[in-house]
């Protein structure tokens, strides 16, 4: 495939990218199930994936590094990497203008990286491995969840931090803030979900977390939580083999999706219009997925990745599998979603 044809595929068709425990990253044509390109990630499994704000590159989190791959060319090799972390990097994300990147790691740190110089600018040290890290929509506060059950609020303006202790000794697995910056959710390895309403967080005032609701979303080990763009829904995933969609109006269960081979479901994301949700799962590692939509791809669906190395396209309304994407030799391992075309 030429660079021009890959660019056309990225810009004009529905595609998505999966990361594998087989040390590969695959770009797919979503409507046909055809794999457009495979990129090697030889140093480790892919723990997480994130796309840059300009939609030109993919950041692949692995053991001790974040590698950047070109999304719109046929180059299969990483362009460069961010190094210096001693353990697995669990999560990465970008400031909205792409000026800096943040990461969370099992070395018990959250870090801020200058995107251009690739140097670490700031380090926030905690006492336990970091599973979850996210950036508040105000672009000035980082929220960190660690394996000891503590949530840390790191104010980048003042370098001050606050701690919120949830259930002691239950690991915080994921944290999500809705696009409006009004709600925050966290899930732990006990299957519990916590919801807060957020106030302040503008000008020089730090964000305040106001407890709103706590409920059991899975019988065991919740892994991921993600708000829909309109804040009306929350999707959670779990080691119980399901992804569940919850109403934020009354916290009732809206939909459950499961498959016999799905086992652990590690990640999920909604489309921009909240009509679609994408999940990824596998048995004993991480999972992440990137999807791009054009305006003609209009039915409601979910994509899952499983321990059998397959990704599946689900019709949300009927619960049926519309398409299977086969190619990974091991579990699919990393899910962030974008439905803008490049």
Q: What pTM was computed for the model?
A: 0.86
Please list, residue by residue across 161-173, b when 16 or more beta carbons sit within 10 angstroms of its beta carbon and e when fewer do: eeebebeeeebbb
pLDDT over 50 at 296, yes or no: no
pLDDT over 80 at 290, yes or no: no
Q: Please give the pLDDT value at position 3.
A: 41
Calculate mean pLDDT across residues 318-333: 78
55 three-class SS: coil
Q: Please give the pLDDT value at position 242.
A: 85
Residue found by looking up tokens 């119980």 in the block: 240
* Angstrom distances, CA of residue 219 to CA of 35, 187, 242, 244: 36, 12, 10, 12
Rounded to an integer, what distance in angstroms lies between the CA atom of residue 286 and that of residue 139? 26
* Angstrom distances, CA of residue 127 to CA of 154, 305, 333: 14, 32, 26
Rounded to an integer, what distance in angstroms lies between the CA atom of residue 337 and that of residue 270? 7
- Of 85-89, 230-234, 285-289, the poorest mean pLDDT is in 285-289
| Residue 275 burial by Cβ neighbours in a 10 Å radius (0-12, 13-18, 19+) | middle
The answer to whether the beta carbons of residues 114 and 158 sit under 8 Å apart is: no
Strand 183-188 to strand 242-247: parallel, antiparallel, or no bridges (unpaired)? Answer: unpaired
Quickly state the pLDDT bin for 235 (edges 50, 70, 90). Answer: confident
In sequence order, the 6+-apart residues with CB closer than 8 A to the CB of 260 are none
Give the length of the chain. 342
DSSP 8-state assignment for residue 205: P
331, 111, 197, 240: CA torsion to nearest 10: 20
DSSP labels, 103-170:
EEETTTEEEEEETTT--EEEEEE-SS-EEEEEE-TTSSEEEEEETTSEEEEEETTT--EEEEE-STT-
CA atoms within 13 A on the CB side of 342: 26
Q: Please give the pLDDT value at position 103.
A: 98
Q: Please give the pLDDT value at position 152.
A: 97
Quickly state the pLDDT bin for 157 (edges 50, 70, 90). Answer: very high
Q: Which domains does the chain have, with CATH numbers?
A: 3-326 (2.130.10.10)
Rounded to an integer, what distance in angstroms lies between the CA atom of residue 88 and that of residue 46? 10
Calculate mean pLDDT across residues 17-22: 84
DSSP labels, 64-104:
EEEEEEESSSS--S-SEEEEEEEEEEEEEEE-TTSSEEEEE
Q: Please give the pLDDT value at position 59.
A: 92
Q: Please give the pLDDT value at position 7.
A: 44
Q: Please give the pLDDT value at position 9.
A: 41
Rounded to an integer, what distance in angstroms lies between the CA atom of residue 295 and that of residue 336? 19
Percent of the chain with pLDDT over 70: 80
- Of 40-49, 75-84, 259-268, the poorest mean pLDDT is in 259-268
Calculate mean pLDDT across residues 210-217: 96
Quickly state the pLDDT bin for 276 (edges 50, 70, 90). Answer: low
pLDDT over 50 at 240, yes or no: yes
Q: Which two tokens stand for residue 45?
A: 């499994």
32-65: pLDDT as tens digits: 888 888 999 999 998 888 889 888 899 999 999 9
| Beta-carbon count within 10 A of 42 CB | 9
259, 262, 264, 265: CA torsion to nearest 10: -80
């Amino acid at each position: 495939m030429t660079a021009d044809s890959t660019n056309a595929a990225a810009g004009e068709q529905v595609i998505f990218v999966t990361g594998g425990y087989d040390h590969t990253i695959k770009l797919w044509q979503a409507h046909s199930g055809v794999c457009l390109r495979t990129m090697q990630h030889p140093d480790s499994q892919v723990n997480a994936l994130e796309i840059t704000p300009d939609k030109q590159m993919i950041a692949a989190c692995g053991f001790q590094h974040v590698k950047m791959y070109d999304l719109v060319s046929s180059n299969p090799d990483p362009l460069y990497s961010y190094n210096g972390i001693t353990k697995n990097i669990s999560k990465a994300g970008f400031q909205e203008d792409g000026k800096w990147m943040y990461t969370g790691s099992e070395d018990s740190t959250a870090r801020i990286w200058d995107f251009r110089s690739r140097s670490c600018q700031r380090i926030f040290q905690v006492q336990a491995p970091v599973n979850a890290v996210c950036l508040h929509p105000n672009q000035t506060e980082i929220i960190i969840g660690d394996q000891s059950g503590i949530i840390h609020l790191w104010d980048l303006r003042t370098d001050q931090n606050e701690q919120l202790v949830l259930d002691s000794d239950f690991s915080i697995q994921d944290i999500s803030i809705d696009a409006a910056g009004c709600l925050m959710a966290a899930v732990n390895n006990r299957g519990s979900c916590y919801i807060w309403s957020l106030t302040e967080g503008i000008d020089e005032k730090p964000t305040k977390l106001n407890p709103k609701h706590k409920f059991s979303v899975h019988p065991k080990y919740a892994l991921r939580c993600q708000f829909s763009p309109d804040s009306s829904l929350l999707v959670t995933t779990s080691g119980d083999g399901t992804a569940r969609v919850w109403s934020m109006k009354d916290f009732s269960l809206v939909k459950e999706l499961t498959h016999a081979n799905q086992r652990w479901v590690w990640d999920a994301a909604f489309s921009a219009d909240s009509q679609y949700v994408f999940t990824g799962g596998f048995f004993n590692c991480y999972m992440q997925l990137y999807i791009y939509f054009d305006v003609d791809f209009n039915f409601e669906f979910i994509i899952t990745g499983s321990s059998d190395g397959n990704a599946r396209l689900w019709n949300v309304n009927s619960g049926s599998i519309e398409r299977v994407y086969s190619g990974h030799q091991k579990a699919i391992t990393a899910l962030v979603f974008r439905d803008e075309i490049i």
